[in-house]
């Protein structure tokens, strides 16, 4: 039980920067990031770049997709 609690805390600490990243990009408050929101922050960001990050293909980037893109060094974390 103790390992689960520690694991949850560690996971939350690593996830916190991603939620902060989504908040920095999300201008309409829906907790998702659109192409327009990303291209406003990332210079020379293309629809092809967005499609690579939007692995679900729903036209929006969620915190999991954003975290994966940052981890894969496809983009820098916002604010860096």
Q: Residue 60 region, left (φ>0) first, then alpha (ψ -120 to 50), else beta?
A: beta
When divided into structural domains, the chain yields a total of 1
- Residue 11 has a CB neighbour count (10 Å cut-off) of 10
For range 43-68, the mean pLDDT: 96
Q: What is the pLDDT of residue 58?
A: 98
Residue reference for tokens 């998702």: 32
Range of the domain at 20: 2-71
In a domain, 52, yes or no: yes
- Check which CATH number belongs to the domain holding 49 and give it: 1.10.238.10
In a domain, 64, yes or no: yes
In a domain, 79, yes or no: no
Q: What pTM value is reported for the model? A: 0.74
Query: Confidence class of residue 22 from pLDDT cuts 50, 70 and 90?
Result: confident
In a domain, 50, yes or no: yes
In a domain, 78, yes or no: no
């Amino acid at each position: 039980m103790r390992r689960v609690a520690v694991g949850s805390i560690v996971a939350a600490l690593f996830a916190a920067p991603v939620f902060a990243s989504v908040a920095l990009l999300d201008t309409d408050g829906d907790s998702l990031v659109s192409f327009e929101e990303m291209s406003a922050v990332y210079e020379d960001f293309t629809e092809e770049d967005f499609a690579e990050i939007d692995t679900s293909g729903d036209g929006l980037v969620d915190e999991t997709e954003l975290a994966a893109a940052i981890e894969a060094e496809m983009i820098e974390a916002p604010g860096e």
